[in-house]
Structure 1
C-alpha cells in the first residue's frame, strides 16, 4: 500500500472509531442535590432597539402628547394647527388646537407616522382615544386609518366620526375595526366642521392587548415572554437606569400614576450609536413601573427592579463630578425604600395607596431589588454601602443585588466580587458578552465559586460571534452548552437572563437579541428556544452527572460534549440535557443509576446544518425544537438510554419513573 493510500485508510479508521466510541454518562438518581431556584431562567428587559415604545408597549402613536423637544416630531400638520402649552396635565402641558382653515376646500388636521409606520391587522379593533375640548362647546373629528402609498382610489381604509361635546377637557374614545393588515399605515385626524377643537394625548391602542389591559402590552410579544416560562423579570434596564447623565436617568416615580401625566424622558440609546442613530427615540413612560410589576405577575415571573445608585453611565462619565455626591444620596436611597413600599405596602401606606389607586390593591410581593447597573470601582462601592444599610434596616427580608461590573473576569471583576462580599449583597449581577471560544472554554466557570458567599445573577449574557455579531444557530448552540454549567451549579447560580430581549427590525442598535419583530409580525430566535428549553425543563434538584468521573463540560477527551441533569420531584422524572458542539456525530449512553423507568423516553431536539442561519419574519419556524421518543433499556438497578447525537445538536431527554 502506498503512503497516500495508507494515510487515507488511517483517517477512515479514525473516523469510524470516533463514531463508534460511546460516551457513557452516569447520572446518580438516588441523591438529589442542590435545589434549582424557580428564578433560575429569567428575562431581562431594557428599552433598547425600540423595545418599549414601538415594541412591547402597544401604543401606536408616536409623540402622543406633543412633548418631544421638536413638538411635531412624528406628526404632519396641515391647515391651521397651533401648539399650546397650558394643557390639563402638569407634566405634559402641550396640546394642539385645530381651527377652520378659512376656505371650504382646505383641510385642517394631523397625520401621525407611528413607529416605523402604524401596524394594524385585518379584523382587529383599535381604540382611538384623546383628551379634547371644544371652545364653542361642540366640534367634530374624522379619525382615519390611511395607506398613503396605496394605488386605490381612497387612502383611508377605516374611519370613525367623533363628536367633542364640551368646552372642558374630557377623554373621548371610539373603536375602529381594520378591514386589512397593513404594517405601514398612518393615523389621520381631520377637523370636521368649522368649530375649533383642542387635542391632547392622542392615542391608538389595539383592543386585543395582552390580558386585555387598556394601557397594555402588544399581545404576541407579551405572550412570547409568558411562553418562555420565565422565573424572573428584571426591569427597566440596563444602561437606561443610569442615563448618559443624571438628568436622563430612569426615574420610577415619573412612570406611575395617570398615563397622561407621565413626563417624557430622553432615551440614552437615542444618541449612543452614531452609526445607527434614531433622533426620535424617547420614553413616553407609558410602560412604567406599575406596568412592569403587573407584567411580571401576568407571565408568572418574580419582579426584579433595578434602581439608580446615584451614578450616571460610567463609560461616558469617568469623572467623580458627574455622579451624585456622597452627602446628596438621600433622595436616591429614599427612592429605593419608597419603591419597596409601592410594591409591598398595604393600602394605608403612602406608596401602597398609590399602587391601589392604579388598580392593584394587593401587594406585588417584591422579594429582590438591584441597586446600580454594571457599575464598578470605588465610586460604586462607596455609594452602594448606604443603600444596603438603609434597605437592611427597614426591609431586612428584601434581597439586595449588587454588581461585579462589565467584565467576566480580571481585576475589575475580582474587585467587584470582593466588595459585594464585604457588603453582604445577596446576589451579584455578572455581565458577559463574549465570543464563541469563551463560551466553549468556560464550561466549568462556576465550579470554583465560593459556596458561602453571595449567589450569582448572570444578568446579561449572550454569545457574540467573532466577526458575526448577529443571531445565528452556532452561537445559540454554544449558549446551550454553557448553560449546563448554570444547572450543575444551581447552589451558586440562582438567576440568569439572556440580553437584550427585544429588537425592532427597523430600529435596532444592538444585536444579537432574543425576539425580533416588525409592526405586525414577530419571530423567536434560536437563542429564545434554547432559553425556553431550559426554563421549561429546569426540574427541582440537581443530579450529579459524570463521564469517566468528570463533569461533562467540553473538557479534553470529551469530544465537544456538554451535559447536566436534574430531577423533577413534581412528576418523578429525570431530565438530562446534552449538547454536542462537535462537527461529528457522538454516541451517547446515559446510565441512570438507581432508576427503574418507563420504556419510553421523551426527547426535545434542537438541530441544524446551517450554522449561520436563524429564524426570520418570513420563516419564523425555520429552526425550532422537535419532539420525539426513544426506548430505554433496563439494567440491574439502572436505566440505560443509548443514542447517537448528531453534530451541532442540543437534546433534552426526559425519563419518567416506572409506575410499577
Structure 2
C-alpha cells in the first residue's frame, strides 16, 4: 500500500451537451482481465475474515514480534490456563499449547471459552465442523457448546476423550437448534473436574461454519459471494505489504503455508497481528479456481518493509524458492515439489502471471531492485517458464519501462479530482509493456484535505475512480486489468480505510461499499473491442466515456461517468450501423452526496431506463452531475443496422503471453495522458 497526499480543485465543472459517434471498425481488442481482485491479509481480512476459521488464537502461534499469548481464551469454573512448551509438542511448527489445570478450581465442572473473532455467528441450519488436539491426563466427556454471554445455549455436543501421553485429535459437529440474534457468542469447552488426573494440554482448536463450495479449511460464503459479484477475471495474491514482512527474517514464506495445519507455524503479518497461515498457497489457488479467476502470483523479492534488502550474493536462495513455488504449483508428479503437491491430493494448477515483489520502489528498495533483484528473478523464471507473463512491482524500473517484455504494476491512491484527471493517463503509453493497476482507491477528500477518507467509502468519490477505470478501459490494449485495494475491512479491527467490503462475525452485517457497486456495474458489462469515437459536441470533462462492442454477445456498449458537474449532461450517442428504432438499456448509479452504505444496506440508487434511437439513429439521454452509467444495445435490438454477430477488426491485445518487446521511456508520455510526476 502507498499513497500520495495531493491537493485538487473542488470547483465543479460547467456541464455541456455531448454528441458522440462510435465507428464500427478500427478498434483495439481489450484485455480479458479488465477487472480483477487483489487480496492481502490486512484489517483481519484473512484470519477473522474470508478464511472461515471461527476460533481466534487457535494454536497459540507467535514470535518475537507478536509474542505467544492466551488472548481470546478465558477460564471457566476456576480452571488454570497457561502456555506450555512441552518436551513432546503437537509439532515442531506448533510447539506451544494451552495447559488446563484444576489447582484452583471452584466448581465440579471446569473448562475454557474462546471469544472468536469478536463473536461467533450462530445460524440455524448450518453444520459446524470442529476439531481439537489433546495431550495429558483427561479421561471423560468434554461438553462443547456455542452460547450467548447470558448463557443461552444454541448448539451443544459431547466428545468422549481418553487422553494420555500421545497427542490425539478429536472431531465434532454442531447443528444449532435456532439462530442467535447477534454474534455476541462464545465457544465453550467444559469437563468434570474429577475427570482430570493431572493437567491436560490443548492445541489447534478449530471450528468452521459451512464454507464456499464446501471446501475443507475453506472460505466464508458471504464474502466469497461478495467477491463473485465483482465478476473478477484475475486474482492478485498474496499481494501487498503483507507478503514483504516487517523485518528480517520474516516474509511470506510459501513453504510455511502448505500441508496439514499442524505443519503451518504462522507468520508475523505486517498489519499488527499474527497470521495463522491457514489461508495458504493452495487455499489461494482454490479460491481463484472457485471464482474463475486467473491467478496473479506474487513472489517475495528480497525487500523487507524496514528497508533491509538481500544482498546480491545471498539472493539465489530466494530466487530458487520462487522456482520451487512454481514447481509446486505446476510441476508434474515426476518433480520434487509437484510430487509433494500430488501427495496432498491436488493436480497441477496453471499460472500465467508472476509479479516479482511488491512496491519495490518504496522503502529504499528501488536501487537494488533495478540493479540486480528484479533481473535475477526475471531471468530465472523466464528461462524455466517462458510462457509466464512477468510483472515488475512498479512500472518504471530503471526510470523506464520494465526490462525485456515484462509488464509493470501501477498503484494509485489519491483524491477523486486527481483520479478523474487521469482519464488519459495511459493514452501515450506503449502497449508492448502492459500495466496492471494492481491497487487503486480514492483515499483523500476532493478539497485538498490530506486527511484520509473515513470508514464507508463515501459518495461521490467513487465516481472519480470510475473515470480512472474508464481511462484504463479505453487503453485496454495496454492495461492488463485493475483491482481495488484493500478488499476487506473487519468492522471490529482495521488498519486501513476506506475498503471495498465491510464485515464482522455476523453475515447479516456484510456491506458492499459504494465503490463495490460501481465496479459491479462496470465489470458486469465487458467490452471486448474498443471502437473509435468522434466527438462532435462537448468533450471529456466533466463527462467521460468509452465505447465499443462485445464479440461475446454482439452488443454495442458505452460506459460513462460524470463527476463534479453543475447540472445534468445531455448526450447524443450514435453507433455506426445502428438505425432508428433500436432500443438500448441505460443503467446508471447515483447516491446522496457524502453518503456511505450503512451496515447491511445501500444508499446507491440504481436507475434502469429503456431508450429508443431517434430518426437519426441517435440515443438521447441525460445523466446526473455525479453518476456512473452503462448503455447497452443488445444484438437483437440494433434495428436494421450492421450485423455485429461476427468478429470485427481487432488490433492491440494479443493475449497475456505475447506482449512483444520494446517500450518507451515514461518521460516521453505526452498529454492528455502525461506520466506521473513524483
User: 1:553 pairs with 540, 550, 556, which one?
Assistant: 540
| SS, match of residue 70 in structure 1 | coil
Aligned: 1:204 with 2:218: no
Following superposition, the deviation at residue 230 of structure 1 comes to 0.3
- Structure 1 residue 33 and structure 2 residue 27: aligned? yes
Contact 2:129 2:171 in 1 (8 A): yes
> Equivalents in 1 of 2:48, 2:349: separation in Å?
27
1:118 counterpart SS class: coil
Task: Identify the residue that residue 666 of structure 2 maps to in structure 1.
Answer: none
Gaps of 5+ in 1: 1-17, 271-280, 405-412, 555-559
The match for 1:289 is: 281
1:630 match:
611
Contact persistence 1:600–1:655 (CA under 8 A): yes
CA distance change for structure 1 residues 600 and 548 in 2, over 3 Å: closer, same or farther? closer
Give the 3-state SS of the residue equivalent to 1:446 in structure 2: coil
SS of the residue corresponding to residue 450 of structure 1 reads: coil
Q: CA deviation at 1:51?
A: 0.7
User: What's the secondary structure of 1:121's corresponding residue?
Assistant: coil
Secondary structure at the counterpart of residue 120 of structure 1: coil
Partner of 2:385: 395
- SS of the aligned residue for 1:294 comes to helix
CA distance in 2: counterparts of 1:440 and 1:463, whole angstroms: 10
Using a 3 Å threshold, how does the CA distance of structure 1 residues 332 and 415 change in structure 2: closer, same or farther?
A: closer
Larger relative helix fraction: 1
Cross-structure match for 1:653: 631
Query: Alpha-carbon deviation of 1:339?
Result: 1.4
Corresponding residue for 2:556? 574
By how many angstroms is 1:451 displaced? 3.0
Computed over aligned residues only, the root mean square deviation of the Cα atoms, in angstroms, reads: 2.2
User: 2:582–2:639: 8 Å Cα contact kept in structure 1?
Assistant: no
Show the counterpart of 2:463.
Answer: 477
Aligned to 2:676: none
Choose which of 513, 518, 524 in structure 2 pairs with 1:525.
513
C-alpha separation in 2, matches of 1:583 and 1:114: 49
Answer whether contact 1:502 1:514 (CA < 8 A) is retained: yes
Classify 1:104/1:22 alpha carbon distance in 2 versus 1 (closer, same or farther; 3 Å).
closer
Q: What is residue 105 of structure 1 aligned with on the other side?
A: 107
Say which is worse superposed, 250-259 or 437-446, in terms of deviation.
437-446
Decide whether aligned partners of structure 1 residues 66 and 647 sit closer, same or farther in structure 2, where only a CA change above 3 A counts: same
Deviation sequence 1:538-592 (CA, Å, 0-9, x none): 2211112232399x532xxxxx110001210111101101112213101101011
CA shift, 1:530, in A, is: 1.5
After TM superposition, the structure 1 = structure 2 runs for residues 309-320 of structure 1, keeping only pairs within 5 Å, are: 309-313=301-305, 316-317=306-307
* Counterparts of 1:659 and 1:185, CA distance in 2: 60
The C-alpha deviation readout for 1:381-427, integer Å capped at 9, x for no partner, is: 121111111111111111111022xxxxxxxx755551x43x22521
- Displacement, 1:22? 3.4
2:529 equivalent among 541, 544, 548: 541
CA contact 2:90–2:262 (8 Å) conserved in 1: no
Matches of residues 262-411 of structure 1 in structure 2 within 5 Å? Answer: 262-270=264-272, 281-313=273-305, 316-317=306-307, 322-361=308-347, 363-376=348-361, 377-381=366-370, 382-404=372-394
Cα pair 2:110 2:193 within 8 Å, conserved: no
- The aligned counterpart of 1:256 is 258
Scaled by the length of structure 2, the TM-score of the pair is 0.84
- Cα displacement (A) at 1:36: 1.6
**CA deviation vs aligned residue, 1:440-467 (integer Å, no higher than 9, x gap):** 2222111111233x10111111112324
Deviation of 1:428 after TM superposition, in Å, equals 0.3
Aligned equivalent of 2:572: 589
1:81 Cα deviation after fit: 3.8
Alignment check: 8 A CA contact 2:79 2:105 kept: no
The answer for the alignment partner of 2:157 in structure 1 is: 160
Match of 2:40 in 1: 46
Displacement, 1:437?
Answer: 2.1
- Say yes or no: does 1:640 pair with 2:618: yes
Residue 442 of structure 2 is matched in structure 1 by 463
User: Structure 2 matches for 1:68-147, cutoff 5 A?
Assistant: 68=62, 69-77=67-75, 78-85=78-85, 86-101=88-103, 105-133=107-135, 135=137, 138-147=139-148
Equivalent residue for 1:62?
56
Change in 2 beyond 3 A, CA 1:642/1:448:
same
Does the C-alpha gap of structure 1 residues 624 and 52 become closer, same or farther in structure 2, counting only changes over 3 Å? farther
Task: Report if the CA contact (8 A) 1:84-1:95 is conserved.
Answer: yes
Name which of structure 1's ranges 390-399 and 599-608 shifts more when overlaid on structure 2: 599-608
Superposed CA offset, 1:269-297 (max 9, x none): 10xxxxxxxxxx21001001100011001
Between the two structures, name the one with larger relative contact order (CA 8 Å, sep ≥ 6). 2
Distance 1:580-1:105 versus aligned 2 partners, 3 A rule:
closer
In structure 2, the CA distance between the partners of 1:499 and 1:624, relative to structure 1 (3 Å rule), is farther
Instruction: Name the structure 1 match of 2:645.
Output: none
CA distance in 1, matches of 2:385, 2:422: 37
| Structure 2, unaligned runs of 5 or more | 1-13, 641-678
Go from structure 1 to structure 2 and tell me whether the alpha carbon gap of 1:598 and 1:114 turns closer, same or farther (over 3 Å shift): farther
CA contact (8 A) 1:566 1:576 kept: yes
Q: Deviations over 1:46-76 (max 9, x none)?
A: 1111110011111111111122323312211
Q: Does 1:443 align with 2:423?
A: yes
8 Å Cα contact 1:140/1:161 also seen in 2: yes
**Which digits, 9 at most, give the CA deviation of each residue in 1:470-515, with x for residues without a partner?**
3111110111112111111111111211111000112111111110
